[in-house]
Amino acid sequence: MIKVETVQSPQELKLFVRFPWQLYKGDPCWVPPIFEEELKFFDPEQNPVFEHSIAHFLLAYDEQNQLVGRAVAIINDLDESVLNIKKIRFGWFDFIDDLEVSQALLDKIKAIGQEHHRTYMEGPMGFSNLDKVGVLTSGFDSIGTMASWHNHPYYQKHYEANGLTVEKEYVECRFPFSNIDITKAKKVSKIVRHRFGYAIVNPRRRKEVFAYADDMFRLFNESYAKLSSYLPITDNEIGYIKKKFLGFIAADFIKFVLDKDKNMIAFAIVMPQFAHALIKSKGKLLPFGFLRILWAKKFSKTAVFYLIGVSEAHQNKGATALLFESYHEDFSKRGMTTCIRTPELATNTAIRQLWKDFSPEVYKTRATYSKVI
């Protein structure tokens, strides 16, 4: 019989965070998180997402009291107040290949959802749209990024056996840097600079990024608001993200486009591929993990496109051409070889159109699953 318990202490939370190291031991494609950063992320005293969210951290034990699974059940009040949906989210959902384990965890999530008067569950997903999303359904033999979850192939059958059905599908694409013919982007860039007065901002220092950060997140909220499942990032969350993540990314991997009145109309956040550094360091910053991350930040030949946003009023007017032109120039100097895109909704045709000239290949697919409770 499987016993599911709620985390009650810092020691148990460490067990929760540490469990994937046990589950994915020997899997060359699993990218570990930074252990200490994961603990901080789950700390309500540090992460402002807990101002409007409640999290139940669950641990599953077998009859020998061995840890065999985990999950987070999440009540995000914004789901109801902003989107008018009564959903309980669940994420960080990991388990051995035993249907009794996954069923016990999902039953507990269901019970928590019913206590909070939720009508359905959906996962795996995080607290917000900036968190990881989706169970991997193909591409198990490829290393992912630090922005996405990896899982064993058997996970999908557990969702289906427990009566969950696909809610949303996501794709992850990649393409060789050599696929990029920048001729068209340069031509469009020249035209829109002249016609609309667009200008590119290429930060080279951290303080330049922070000077534009608030405008960037305002635009992020605006440009993604039309997605049916999007929750706006609060001001306190923006402050947290600025402090936690923006300094982590090389300044020249973040770019902005301004209109003739110096208003931000487009942005892009790209990261070097940190996956190999994290794998080698096993999620530890000490003694050498920090140095490996710094090395990847400076020398990685793989670019991970994390976010691109364009003001609705300026979409289809060529603003992204300035971004691509600038990235191509910088990445050519760096000797970049590969470009990766983090998970995107399979139904987001606009984003697919943005990348079509680069002949990307879908190398991973994933999905969230849902069930009425």
Q: For 136-156, what is each residue's pLDDT tens digit?
A: 999 999 998 999 999 999 999
- Alpha carbons 75 and 40: distance in angstroms, whole number: 19
Q: Which token pair is 74?
A: 């999440």
To the nearest whole number, what is the mean pLDDT of the chain?
95
113 or 129, greater pLDDT: 113
Q: Is the dihedral of CA 14, 71, 92, 52 positive or negative?
A: negative
- 250-291 pLDDT per residue, tens: 888 999 999 999 999 999 999 999 999 999 999 999 999 999
pLDDT reported for residue 333: 95
pLDDT at residue 220, as a whole number:
94
Could you give the domains of the chain? 3-171 (3.40.630.30), 176-366 (3.40.630.30)
% of the chain surpassing 90 pLDDT = 89
Q: Are 291 and 246 in contact (CB under 8 A)?
A: no
DSSP designation for 311: -
For 99-111, the pLDDT digits (tens) are: 999 999 999 999 9
Of 10-19, 103-112, 204-213, 260-269, least confident by mean pLDDT is: 204-213
**pLDDT reported for residue 247:** 73
pTM of the model: 0.94
Span 29-57, average pLDDT = 96
Q: What is the pLDDT of residue 353?
A: 87
Name the burial class of residue 260, with classes exposed (0-12), middle (13-18) and buried (19+) by CB atoms within 10 angstroms of its CB.
Answer: exposed
Which tens digit of pLDDT belongs to each residue from 170-201? 999 999 999 999 999 999 999 999 999 999 99
Alpha helices in 177-257 (DSSP H): 183-196, 206-224, 235-244
211-243 b/e (C-beta count within 10 Å ≥ 16 → b)? ebbebbbbbbbebbeeeebbbbbbeebbebbbe
Query: What band does 48 get if pLDDT is binned at 50, 70 and 90?
Result: very high
